[in-house]
Structure 1
Amino acid sequence: MPETPTPWRPQVLATSALHPDAEALLGECCQLVLPAAPGDDALRQAAAGADALIVRAKLPDDIFDHAPALRACVRHGVGLDFIPVEAATRAGVPVANLPAANRQSVAEYVVAVAGLLARDLHRLAIDFQAQGWASRVRHPGFELAGRTLGVVGCGGIGRAVAQAMHCAFGMRVLGHDPHASDLPAIITPVPLAQLFAEADVITLHMPSTPETRGVVDAALLAGVKPGAVLINAARGDLIHEAALLQALDGGRLRAAALDVFEPEPLPSGHPFLGRPDLFLTPHIAGGSEESGRRMSMEAVEETLRILRGQAPLALVNATCWDGYLKRHDGGFLAAGPQATDA
């Protein structure tokens, strides 16, 4: 009898480990590979034999030159600045991302941090540990009820934050997003300068693009409402660092919460470190237990869809899809395991 051919087990490279449930799902029909060491060189080397790539860290711009067999590139998250999408399209590699996977976690982070900054709890906690009970009179805060929220970037996360803050505290919501349409009735669209001039709490939810990098600059912050607080859980390069520090030093901004930086990780000795008017977290806004599993599971599901010749739910570079199907006609992964829950 002729030998039964060994089923194809695609090699899936992840830039870092996935949730165990996702690794188990992937392992039923694929081989998971991790880079042998940190850094771009190890990633390029690992990509040489990869059929698919799950992205949790910024890729080198030339990664697709080192991955001749690559069929799929899936972002473990939302931001596409981690992936050289144009290079992927030239290489004929479909790219997908997960627009909603961490939406709830980021929205809850922003709501929590807004309350923390408004009541000055970050500084109060430090003062209380150092100086004791007398600290209770040194940190008056303001209530969110009836205040104005400014949402810069009104996609899924921005809208979720707006809905939560409006429903919980009755906040008036201003929004700015040149690309958004059909905004919910609770969001009043305004120019960016007006939003900064009127909002008590400003939260950023834009992607990093050539148009948005450095958009929060000295000119914009010069017109910010005195005593406002600023939250950035989007991308670090949206804010001009020197302008932010100047606005804080001058008392124009009350405080800011930053979860993202440029570069990451934040280097030691950075001027943001050690400032009591800055609440800093290491890019964890979208990293709850639930969203961590959800992102890994959805990333694996999208990867399997592409390897099976099925269009992913969030295909970023649709122009290469027909060519992808023709190029691999008849050579797709057989139907197999599917996740049963999110």
Structure 2
Amino acid sequence: MSSILVTGADLAPQALALLDGYDMVYAGKTPTEESLIALCRAHNPVAIIVRYGGVGAAMMDAAPALKVISKHGSGTDTIDKVAAKERGIEVVAALGVNAAAVAEQTMALLLACAKSVVALDARMRAGHWDKATHKSLELGGRTVGLVGLGAIGLRFARMADAMGMRVIGFDPYARDLPEYVQGVALETLWRESDVISLHCPLTADNRGLLNAETLARCRRGVIVVNTARGGLIDEAALLAAVRSGQVMAAGLDSFAVEPMTAGHPFQGEPRIVLSPHIGGVTSDAYVNMGLGAARNVLQVLERAAAPAH
């Protein structure tokens, strides 16, 4: 029986039903590269479903039967796509299946920043009543700039528009934008946005996109939200911008190194709201991502098994 390796501890039952007939191998919740290579050597999977950790050339070479690497979600930056292409292995992603979940997390982080939800909660638990001194930020009429206008960015754009925000966005690949999204150049986005929200994949070209230079071009008091990839932000530059007031607050769901290590400077900064990369993790998205990843695996394996004409 052919094996499928899941770089995680589980897969939605609905996805497993689709993959009935394959021997499912699970790597656990925090797989190391060494353990993944060992599992590839032991089971020689025809497919890998990527939940946690990355897939590099060494893993691919340990599984000569490997035909497809399927991401349980949309971001494929942890997969060495060049190495996969050299070995004739397809890399596929479950695009759009967690768009609603991530867009909702983006809005939750934005509202937490604009309305000081976390800080006010802490103050009240400490016995304070700040009604006379605190003023929240009203989002209606403000401009939100979206970097990336794929399924998640556009879903969030619709929510922001419904709140009365002006929505501008940068995405060189986006076509036929809805009437409530104005496509702009990055330079315009930095200059005009009251809120900047990142929704693009991480590539070699955009690593550190939000850095000391680009943050300095933004409006003073901008809010930054990132539910995409941590590598898009120069974390030291963001921290300095928050401390100086150039950035009013930041809501972050992804980080340069995950899991976040104890003592990370973000942990001591009250104007940065943190969540542990769970934007796409809802019960619905878990099923949808599993089904998407499983369908992608089957599609590639069926194509590979089809006789050549």
Secondary structure of 1:74 counterpart: strand
The one-letter amino acid of 1:136's match is: K
Tell me if 1:33 matches 2:29.
no
Q: Alignment identity in percent? A: 36
Post-superposition Cα deviations, 1:103-128, rounded to whole Å, max 9, x if no partner, equal 01011111222222111112111111
The residue that corresponds to 2:282 in the other structure is 288
Residue 159 of structure 2: which of 151, 161, 164 is its match? 164
Q: Offset at 1:23?
A: 5.3
The one-letter amino acid of 1:74's match is: S
Quote the Cα distance in structure 2 between the aligned partners of 1:24 and 1:222: 49
Post-superposition Cα deviations, 1:171-205, rounded to whole Å, max 9, x if no partner, equal 11111122323222211122223212221221001
Contact 2:146-2:169 at 8 Å conserved across structures: yes
Query: Runs ≥4 in structure 1, deviation > 6 angstroms?
Result: none
Contact 2:2-2:23 at 8 Å conserved across structures: yes
Quote the Cα distance in structure 2 between the aligned partners of 1:289 and 1:253: 33
The one-letter amino acid of 2:193's match is: A
The residue that corresponds to 2:142 in the other structure is 147
The residue that corresponds to 2:130 in the other structure is 135
The residue that corresponds to 1:252 in the other structure is 246
Tell me if 1:43 matches 2:36.
yes
Contact 2:31-2:53 at 8 Å conserved across structures: no
Contact 1:26-1:32 at 8 Å conserved across structures: no
Shift in CA distance, 65/226, structure 1 to aligned 2, threshold 3 Å: same
Post-superposition Cα deviations, 1:131-158, rounded to whole Å, max 9, x if no partner, equal 33x2333431111111111111111111
RMSD of aligned Cα (Å): 1.8
Contact 1:206-1:212 at 8 Å conserved across structures: no
Shift in CA distance, 116/26, structure 1 to aligned 2, threshold 3 Å: same
Tell me if 1:93 matches 2:99.
no
The residue that corresponds to 1:55 in the other structure is 50
Q: Offset at 1:52?
A: 1.0
Unaligned runs of 5+ in 2: none
Residue 193 of structure 1: which of 184, 187, 192 is its match? 187
Report the TM-score, using the length of structure 2 for normalisation. 0.93
Report the TM-score, using the length of structure 1 for normalisation. 0.84
Contact 1:148-1:199 at 8 Å conserved across structures: yes
Quote the Cα distance in structure 1 between the aligned partners of 2:11 and 2:131: 42
Tell me if 1:120 matches 2:116.
yes
Contact 1:124-1:136 at 8 Å conserved across structures: no
Quote the Cα distance in structure 1 between the aligned partners of 2:212 and 2:12: 45
Shift in CA distance, 292/151, structure 1 to aligned 2, threshold 3 Å: same
Q: Offset at 1:59?
A: 2.0
The residue that corresponds to 1:108 in the other structure is 104
Q: Which has the larger radius of gyration?
A: 1
Quote the Cα distance in structure 1 between the aligned partners of 2:132 and 2:262: 33
Contact 1:128-1:136 at 8 Å conserved across structures: no
Post-superposition Cα deviations, 1:242-288, rounded to whole Å, max 9, x if no partner, equal 21111111111110001000111111111111210000000001111
Contact 1:21-1:297 at 8 Å conserved across structures: no
The residue that corresponds to 1:13 in the other structure is 5
Secondary structure of 2:273 counterpart: strand
The residue that corresponds to 1:307 in the other structure is 301
Post-superposition Cα deviations, 1:270-324, rounded to whole Å, max 9, x if no partner, equal 1111210000000001111100111012211221222222xxxxxxxxxxxxxxx
